[in-house]
Amino acid sequence: MSNKTLYDKLWNSHLVSQRDDGTALLYIDRHLIHEVTSPQAFEGLRLAGRTPWRADANFATPDHNIPTTKSERSQGLEGIKDPVSKIQVATLDENCKEFGILEMDMNDIRQGIVHVVGPEQGATLPGMTIVCGDSHTSTHGALGALAHGIGTSEVEHVLATQCLIARKAKNMLVRVDGQLKKGVTAKDIVLAIIGELGTAGGTGYTIEFGGEAIESLSIEGRMTVCNMAIEAGARAGLVACDTKTLDYIKGRPFAPSGDLWDKAASAWRGLKSDDGAIFDCVIELDAAEIDPQVTWGTSPEMVASVNGRIPFISEEVEKNKQANYEQALAYMGLKSGMAIGDIKLDCIFIGSCTNSRIEDLREAAAVVKGKQKAETVEVAMVVPGSGLVKQKAEEEGLDKIFIEAGLEWREPGCSMCLAMNADQLGAGKHCASTSNRNFEGRQGFGGRTHLVSPAMAAAAAIHGRFIDVSVL
Amino acid sequence: MKKFDAVKGLVLPLDRANVDTDFIIPKQFLKSIKRTGFGVNLFDEHRYLDKGEPDADNSKRPINEDFVLNKVRYANARILLTRENFGCGSSREHAPWALDDYGFRVILAPSFADIFFNNCFKNGLLPIVLDSKIIESLFAEVEAVPGFELSVDLEEQVIRMPDGGAINFEIEASRKHCLLNGLDDIGITLGDAELIRQFEDGWRATSPFYFTLK
Ligand code: SF4
């Protein structure tokens, strides 16, 4: 009889050695690379005369700095106007070439946000350890992999040694039971969880998401949930592997096939926590009680139901958080007690590694179909997560639905999720965004972000304010 | 990481407390994709009279003749002598990168900021904490004696003066070991290369489906 959690199993199966100082050497199966956090790591290798331990464990694609308009993209590298961004992207190309690393470069139809591309290509597999110099690497946990973000010096360490020096985290289970209301999605689940846990509630834990509502999500929905585990402070989020997981992976370009598939599938079926598994902490939510969620502040935990209001800070918020909350409201230009439905929106962003997959785009398209963007909304853009997502959406005619409704249809990349390219939210503007961070200035200097699901963002584009998509 | 052998060299006196990492290397240089080449911008805001930019031709910039780094008598110094709390501020690893790239190998101060102190060891620099009285007397000597050199022997944990005097210093045993052998985290992990290889062989045998990305 065993009582191991899925995290325990993944950890144990990759443990190379346990050191006396409490750290461990963990073997890494897959290392995903993008242009921003890798250049100094490659430079470090070169300076030390080292080569990657196993080049074929790595896989790269540029995303953060990539322009998203057709005219810029058609010029390839030359289309990147900021010289510093251009050098970063060109450097990734050169480093991958020099070190023999597979790259889907900016002219490759498979290019996209690294966390969208990994699963899409079958480079993310259940039971793996996966790292990337990016905090939203937690996304890949949706497939039953142990995945977390690392810093630049760790990127170099993984390249050189195929291992990470790590400390084991504690186990947390977040159970979401019951059934979701119509129009309520994975994004609303995870925002509600963060509202409950707080942005530091998961610190020091690996969170496994389970329960009926999580099981009934598609794999893409599970990715949305795991993507934001880091916003609750947990470096890694996980969902157990089930038949949906196997169906999702089968036939993808880098997934095993033939005999190897059979072998893999039988191993992956065991990737779940044992019945008697011991968690250090368990949180339970009822799916039926979750409304569409909207963040109103500058941290993902500052979240409310679309039908709710901003809290009265002096009465409803814990003392030690009040100053922080007041500051957030001042930045957002909003008032205590204001109804969420009264917030006026200037901009809509549908994209990012949280919500830019085909199901997200379908969900948004269904809401805007045959309608028109509100006059008061200045910019509404839809940015697919990868070239292949874009292609698929176009095959389904989603691009036309968006364009006819007055939304812009862009090329794949991180875009206005962090505004490292030219897609920037103006100062003082309110944006309904399907991304994952609403920090000050995240989408552009002075910009005001409200995190929502794709359906909520789409409805906000039509109405110029937030409306409850669960009653549409 | 390069090994730290004994160092003999000129001493440059930076007579200032609380030198922060922005003083060492200003933030506009962090956009770089490299970890070398920061030496020309070490102490940029004090060494030049204009504002530095990452792509500027530094040879054409106006020099601040009064700043100690620009004094001919300290050209090619290897040892930096400074005051309390050196390296405070942001955690940027660019600070030790810049000092190293300029050519410094040893920093002598009464105290260092914590993160900077750690970052030095990761990058082959030796920060040495000395009693403030000793620091004071070294400042006096450096100023009085042009061409004042020290030699630093890490193995023996001793700094030797030109007149034959010696100053002992402390260093954590594991840090000393890493510096002497040129071991960074990667170097240490690679010390377990055999273990990693064994693990990998076993893993490849039981889970060959993780080795299919070509
Ligand atoms: S989409 Fe946003 S959160 Fe995701 S990797 Fe890009 S910048 Fe980071």
Question: Does residue A111 or residue B21 have the better pLDDT?
Answer: A111
Q: Is A224 in the pocket of ligand 1 (CB under 6 A)?
A: no
B211 sits in which H/E element: none
CA-to-CA distance for A435 and A449, rounded, in angstroms? Answer: 9
Residues of B whose CB is below 8 A from A17: 192, 195
pLDDT tens figures, A249-277: 999 999 999 999 999 999 999 999 999 99
pLDDT for B68 beyond 90: yes
Residues of A whose CB is below 8 A from B210: 29-30, 125, 127-128
- What confidence category does residue B115 fall into, taking pLDDT thresholds of 50, 70 and 90? confident
Among candidate residues A196, A411, A376, A387, the one with its CA nearest the CA of residue A303:
A196
Q: Among all residues of chain B, which has the CA nearest to that of A38?
A: B33
Q: For the range A393-399, what are the long-range contacts, defined as Cβ-Cβ under 8 Å and sequence gap of 24 or more? A: A393/A358, A393/A361, A393/A365, A396/A362, A398/A361, A398/A362, A398/A365
Q: Is A352 in the pocket of ligand 1 (CB under 6 A)?
A: yes
The 3-class SS string of A32-82 reads EECCCCCHHHHHHHHHHCCCCCCHHHEEECCCCCCCCCHHHHCCHHHHCCC
Rounded to a whole number of angstroms, the distance from the CA of A122 to the nearest CA of chain B is 9
Rounded to a whole number of angstroms, the distance from the CA of A40 to the nearest CA of chain B is 5
Residue B91's pLDDT is 67
Which amino acid residue places its CA nearest to atom 1 of ligand 1?
A: A352
Roughly what angle, to the nearest 10 degrees, separates helices A83-99 and A39-48?
50
Q: Is A353 in the pocket of ligand 1 (CB under 6 A)?
A: yes
CB contact under 8 A, B186 and A160: yes
Per-domain residue ranges for chain B? 6-171, 184-214
ipTM: 0.93
Q: Is A420 in the pocket of ligand 1 (CB under 6 A)?
A: no
CB contact under 8 A, A48 and B200: no
Residue in A117, A389, A416, A435 to alter for ligand 1 test, most ligand atoms within 8 A of Cβ: A435
Judge whether A59 is closer than 8 Å to chain B, CB to CB: yes
CA-to-CA distance for A75 and B150, rounded, in angstroms? Answer: 57
Domain spanning B6-171: CATH superfamily: Aconitase, domain 4 (3.20.19.10)
Mutation pick from A28, A65, A104, A157 vs chain B, by most beta carbons of B within 10 Å, is A157
User: Closest partner residue to A123 among B195, B211, B213, by Cβ?
Assistant: B213
Q: Is A142 in the pocket of ligand 1 (CB under 6 A)?
A: no
- Across chain A, what does the average pLDDT equal? 96
Pairing of strands A30-33, A58-60: parallel
Residue A304's pLDDT is 98
CB contact under 8 A, A27 and B35: no
Q: What is the mean pLDDT of residues A289-318?
A: 96
Cα Rg of chain A, angstroms: 21
CB contact under 8 A, B213 and A57: yes
Say which residues have a Cβ less than 8 Å from residue A119's Cβ, sequence separation at least 6: A139, A140, A142, A143, A219, A223, A248
CB contact under 8 A, A56 and B208: no
Question: Does residue A117 or residue B5 have the better pLDDT?
Answer: A117
The three-class DSSP label of residue B151 is strand
pLDDT for A1 beyond 70: no
Question: Does residue B184 or residue A38 have the better pLDDT?
Answer: A38
Which amino acid residue places its CA nearest to atom 2 of ligand 1?
A: A417
Rounded to a whole number of angstroms, the distance from the CA of B65 to the nearest CA of chain A is 31
Q: Among all residues of chain B, which has the CA nearest to that of A158?
A: B186
Q: What is the mean pLDDT of residues A51-58?
A: 97
Which amino acid residue places its CA nearest to atom 4 of ligand 1?
A: A353
- What confidence category does residue B214 fall into, taking pLDDT thresholds of 50, 70 and 90? low
Cα Rg of chain B, angstroms: 20
Q: Is A417 in the pocket of ligand 1 (CB under 6 A)?
A: yes
pLDDT for B147 beyond 70: yes
Measure Cα distances from B82 to A387, B64, B110, B161, B200 in Å: 54, 19, 8, 17, 48
CB contact under 8 A, B196 and A53: yes
Say which residues have a Cβ less than 8 Å from residue A361's Cβ, sequence separation at least 6: A350, A382, A384, A389, A393, A398, A454
What percent of chain A clears pLDDT 90, i.e. is strictly above it? 90
Amino acid code (one letter) for A376 = T
Instruction: Pick the atom of ligand 1 nearest to A115's CA.
Output: 5
Amino acid code (one letter) for B197 = R
Residue in A418, A439, A449, A451 to alter for ligand 1 test, most ligand atoms within 8 A of Cβ: A418
* Torsional class of B189: left (φ above 0), alpha (ψ -120 to 50), beta (otherwise): alpha
Instruction: Pick the atom of ligand 1 nearest to A418's CA.
Output: 7
Q: How far is the CA of A350 from the centre of ligand 1 (A)?
A: 13
- What confidence category does residue A469 fall into, taking pLDDT thresholds of 50, 70 and 90? very high
pLDDT tens figures, B15-25: 998 898 889 99
CA-to-CA distance for A222 and A215, rounded, in angstroms? Answer: 9
CB pairs under 8 A between A and B: 90
Residue in A33, A36, A63, A349 to alter for ligand 1 test, most ligand atoms within 8 A of Cβ: A63
Outline where B32-172 has alpha helix (H). 44-47, 94-102, 114-122, 132-144
Measure Cα distances from B58 to A342, B29, B44, B61, B95 in Å: 54, 13, 10, 5, 18
Residue A279's pLDDT is 98
pLDDT tens figures, A171-228: 999 999 999 999 999 999 999 999 999 988 998 999 999 999 999 999 999 999 999 9
CA-to-CA distance for B20 and B23, rounded, in angstroms? Answer: 5
A203-241 b/e (C-beta count within 10 Å ≥ 16 → b): eebbbbbbbebbeebebbbbbbbbbbbbbbbbbbbbbbb
